[in-house]
Structure 1
Amino acid sequence: MAFHEVRFPDNISRGARGGPERRTKIVELASGDEERNASWANSRRRYDISYGIRRADDLDAVVAFFEARNGRLHGFRFKDWADHKSCKPSETPNAADQLIGTGDGTRTAFQLVKRYASGSQTWVRTITKPVAGTISIAQGGVSQPSGWTVDPATGTVTFAAPPGNGVAVRAGFEFDVPVRFDSDALDVTLDIERLGSITSIPLVEIRR
């Protein structure tokens, strides 16, 4: 299995439905109380892209993309229009958005992450598919236009010189979700006007 560093067509993904999924086991006790346990430490995103197909040409593009990925075999990039930035959807990413680590004078590699906070709770999401050309980095509140590189296939930021001890390293970026098709078949329907449709095209996030 390989991962193809190609993004699913934006004009179709924009109409997709989906979002994060959690897996929780709930046991109801005889007393009526319940116990809840998280089976997954991290969420996993699922989408249905059939809602983004509006024209016969869209259908043709989906079939071609599906065949080129060999169905479920190969992963690819997907833009989640509801959550694809290090900041709020209405804002533009900047270098102060996300804390990705603190320097110790030795460490040179830092992983891009996005934090989701509500009240006193925070969940940290690892970002592995940043969009090239959208990434900015800051050290100690100062933007760093150079002296670092980012691997767009892993989301790892590598500095030429290690950030100093106690220096906050922050980043701003756009990102894609690594996904694959969750079916090896496309159920295509042609109506009397020769416009095509597919009842469901499920995608699932790839977690490693």
Structure 2
Amino acid sequence: MAFHEVRFPANLSFGSVGGPERRTEIVALASGFEERNTPWAHARRRYDAGMGLRSLDDLSALVAFFEARAGQLHGFRWKDWSDYKSCLPSRATAFDDQVIAIGDGVATAFQLVKTYSSGPGSYGRPINKVVRDTVRAGVGGNEVFPGIHFAADHTSGMITFAEAPEPGAVVTAGYEFDVAVRFDTDRIAVSVSSFQAGEMPSIPVIEVRV
């Protein structure tokens, strides 16, 4: 499968339904207690692209995008409107939104990460598909600048500094990002009369590992 570095039309994904999915294996013991485990280190997101369609022109744009991806064959970028920034949706991104590493004086390349925290638990999500020209970065509490101090790869989410951050220096970043996905169907079935009557086609989209 190839991955196409093109984003599904953001105006169509705006009304979509979806979010993260986890896989948990639960074994009920004879005592009534449970043992719970997960084979997944990271969540996998699912969406329904059909829910964002508002007109026949939208439907035409979706069909064109679907055909250009050959159905499930090629992956693409998806904007998850509920989670596409390194900060809260209501805020503008800043260079110190997320701590991505601690400098050791040697390493110059770091993976962008978004951390989700609640109570005693936290989860670090690797961010691969960053939006071009949105990455801001900081070292030791001071902002550094792209093209001078660092470069960001928008296809992999790696940020590379011209000089290794000093030992103990906190490396931070802020950014916008997309989700790498593919269609989860090779078939679109829609009736124009049903669509005009308000019936939305189901067009599942699923996250892929890249």
Query: TM-score scaled by structure 2?
Result: 0.95
Structure 2 Cα separation of the partners of residues 14 and 45 of structure 1: 16
Whether 1:129 aligns to 2:129 is: yes
Partner residue of 1:199? Answer: 201
What are the Cα deviations for residues 152-191 of structure 1, in whole angstroms up to 9, with x where unaligned?
0000001111111111110000000000000111112120
Whether 1:88 aligns to 2:88 is: yes
- Structure 2 counterpart SS, 1:188: coil
Whether 1:164 aligns to 2:166 is: yes
Contact 1:188 1:199 in 2 (8 A): yes
Partner residue of 1:104? Answer: 104
Structure 2 Cα separation of the partners of residues 38 and 200 of structure 1: 29
Whose strand fraction is larger, Structure 1's or Structure 2's?
A: 1
Structure 1 Cα separation of the partners of residues 39 and 143 of structure 2: 40
Where in structure 2 are there 5+ consecutive unaligned residues? none
Alignment of 1:35-54 (within 5 A): 35-54=35-54
Deviation, structure 1 residue 36: 1.3
Contact 1:53 1:197 in 2 (8 A): no
Partner residue of 1:184? Answer: 186
- Structure 1 counterpart SS, 2:182: strand
Letter in 2 for 1:172: G
Percentage identity across paired residues of the two chains: 54
Contact 1:189 1:196 in 2 (8 A): no
- Structure 2 counterpart SS, 1:31: coil
Which shifted more, 51-60 or 23-32? 23-32
Partner residue of 1:79? Answer: 79
Distance 1:198 1:71, change over 3 A: farther
Contact 1:79 1:177 in 2 (8 A): yes
Deviation, structure 1 residue 31: 3.1
Structure 1 Cα separation of the partners of residues 175 and 69 of structure 2: 27
Whether 1:147 aligns to 2:140 is: no
What are the Cα deviations for residues 94-133 of structure 1, in whole angstroms up to 9, with x where unaligned?
0010011111111110110000000121100000011112
Partner residue of 2:61? Answer: 61
Choose from 177, 180, 184 the match for 1:175.
177
Q: How large is the Cα RMSD of the aligned pairs?
A: 1.5
Deviation, structure 1 residue 199: 2.2
Structure 1 Cα separation of the partners of residues 172 and 193 of structure 2: 52
Partner residue of 2:31? Answer: 31
